[in-house]
Amino acid sequence: METSNEKKIAAFTHLSTFSQYIIPFGNYIFPIILWTSKKDESEFVDHNGKQVLNFQLSILVYSLVLAMITIPILLYTVLKNISFSELVYHEDIIFENFDYGNSIGLLTIGALALFGFACIKVAEFFLIIHASVKASNGEKYNYPLTIPFLK
């Protein structure tokens, strides 16, 4: 049976990942601090701390994969349509001859990857709230599609 204090710490460990919107890497720093401070004292806090960190690391991996797909595609599509000789003389970037017909496949893949990233961030938001509610009720929660980095 988990104590009220353990439930609060576990729930706050999940909610501390929202600090990423204020402090860079706050979604790793604050959960690590909370988890390491109580992991030896409570198996419940230990489980939730591992889940939070595994989920955040999984989100990072998924985001990096999508970025490795999106950024080169979008850069290639845009840069192949710029005349650099005109750029030197006119100092303006003009996309007069941008050929959508030959680029639609690559632009679609890039747009789908951007949409996938947006879906991941929205799902992350709601899953964190759901996990913190479960933790505050004393239930163990496992995030979906999480790579188990910490066991």
pTM comes to: 0.82
By residue range, what is the domain housing residue 45?
A: 4-136
Does some domain include residue 147?
no
- Taking CA 125 as the corner, what is the angle to CA 134 and CA 1, rounded to the nearest 5 degrees? 15
Higher pLDDT, 54 or 92: 54
What's the CA gap between 110 and 75, in Å, rounded?
Answer: 10
Does some domain include residue 11?
yes
Does some domain include residue 148?
no
Does some domain include residue 141?
no
Does some domain include residue 98?
yes
Residue 129: both structure tokens together: 């709230």
What does the pLDDT average to over 5-22? 93
Does some domain include residue 9?
yes
Does some domain include residue 110?
yes
Per-residue model confidence as pLDDT tens digits over 106-147: 778 888 888 999 999 999 999 999 999 999 999 999 999 899
Number of domains in the chain: 1
Evaluate if residue 12 carries a pLDDT over 70: yes
Does some domain include residue 144?
no
Closest CA to 34 of 57, 19, 58, 16: 16
